[in-house]
Amino acid sequence: MTIRPIWDGLPRRDVVRKCLSEVRRIYTVESTLEIQSTLSPSIPAIPVPHPFSSWRRRQGYMGEGSLPTRTKDNTRAAAKMTRTDVEFKTSDNVTLRGWFFTPSNVSSGTKLPCMILTHGLSCIKEMGLDHVASKYVSDLAVSCLVYDHRGFGASDTASHAPRQEVNTWLQANDTRDAVTYVQTREDVDKSKIGVWGYSLSAIHAVYVGAIDRRVKAVVALGPGMDGTEICKRLAAPHALNAMQGLFEMDRLARAKGEEPIRVPVISAEGGQCVLPSPESTAFFGRWVGKDDERGWRNELTLRSLDDVSTYSTAMAHLENLCPTPVFFGVASRDTNSPADMVMRQYNKLSEPKEYAIVDADHYELMGKARDVLHPKEVAFLKKWLSL
């Protein structure tokens, strides 16, 4: 006897509704996530149980996170640095674009150490990375490469891949390609390259530092390296189980050539979204509604959630990071990358390692906590890159 899934043979719109009817049969939905169908404008928004709704109700909640200041282009002329637009190719021929920062007072022919900086989930380089890089270049004899992940901001995506999709393995591999790119530059000391990552990219930084010995130092801010555990902390089990049917449905539909399902990153009106916390809304809210096609967009593909929710690759390589030195920046009020989880992972690392715990939420690691973290990162890099 052949057992067929409940949606076998149904049109995609009916597939979604059939799947949801099965979900509702198991439990009562108190809040919904509006997923817009990409098949036709005539197909209405479809309510889907949001995996983080119970977490929203459980939080008492802390105040809003502070927003990082968007650095204007004219700040690059602020006496000590030069910023240049750059692009480079990945190993699968995707063009990534960003900025290269150098001290303006460096003599011609000087080769400087280089830090590679990348941002977190859905973020683009304009969301604070320019400020971090400019401070590094002002206070250290280093250059910095800042770039957008594939499919986000100014960077391209593969011909077969949609924009606004997170592929964690490819993002990590792109970091290695960024190392290769800076090694080809005549103004970089290729024996002194470090990687810096925030949030999701902090995990990439740890992973790449463990497997690629060209990396001589790692700075990781808010590196929650176990996606499965984070999701279990944020969402009720039945909600996570319900999402599996949607992941499967999306994969089957895309295999037939249909457009991916997309979900909002935040909802300023209090609706359901990927990141529902007040801190997330505060951090991303100022970027909603921008008309720039290559700016920040308030959406991710559903497959991005499928990927991130199971991303724990770095966990298998923690013991391999030695002898590469690593610095962890940890926020005591972080709910995206909880401090107890991050420190448990930190304790699995061998020396050399350093950490700093700051009184901040996840997004304040890119905001007011920079006043505390920047001097500590500078001291760490001076020590381990011999600056």
Residues 103 and 79: their CA atoms lie apart, in Å, by 9
Token pair 């380089």: residue: 125
Count CB-CB contacts under 10 A for residue 154: 19
Between β-strands 143-147 and 262-263, what pairing exists: parallel, antiparallel or unpaired?
unpaired
Which tokens hold the place of 129?
A: 């990375």
Which residues, listed in sequence order, are joined to residue 99 by a DSSP beta bridge?
85, 146
Residues 193 and 200: their CA atoms lie apart, in Å, by 20
Half-sphere exposure (Cβ direction) of 136: Cα atoms closer than 13 Å: 31
CATH topology for the 82-226+312-385 domain: Rossmann fold (3.40.50)
**Phi/psi at 226 (nearest 5 deg)?**
-125, 95
What is the structure's pLDDT at 387?
A: 83
- The angle that helices 129-139 and 370-384 make with each other, rounded to 10 degrees, is 50
| Tens-level pLDDT at each residue, the chain (387 residues) | 444 454 455 555 555 445 444 433 433 333 333 333 333 333 334 344 444 443 333 333 333 333 333 334 434 444 478 999 999 999 999 999 999 999 988 888 899 999 999 999 999 999 999 999 999 999 999 999 999 999 999 999 999 999 999 999 999 999 999 999 999 999 999 999 999 999 999 999 999 999 999 999 999 999 988 888 888 887 778 878 888 998 999 999 999 999 999 999 998 776 778 888 889 999 999 898 775 777 899 999 999 999 999 898 888 899 999 999 999 999 999 999 999 999 999 999 999 999 999 999 999 999 999 999 999 999 999 999 988
Cβ neighbours of residue 124 closer than 8 Å, sequence gap 6 or more: 148, 152, 153, 154, 295, 296
Q: Are the C-beta atoms of 307 and 168 separated by less than 8 Å? A: yes
Domain ranges of the chain: 82-226+312-385, 230-305
Which residues, listed in sequence order, are joined to residue 193 by a DSSP beta bridge?
114, 215
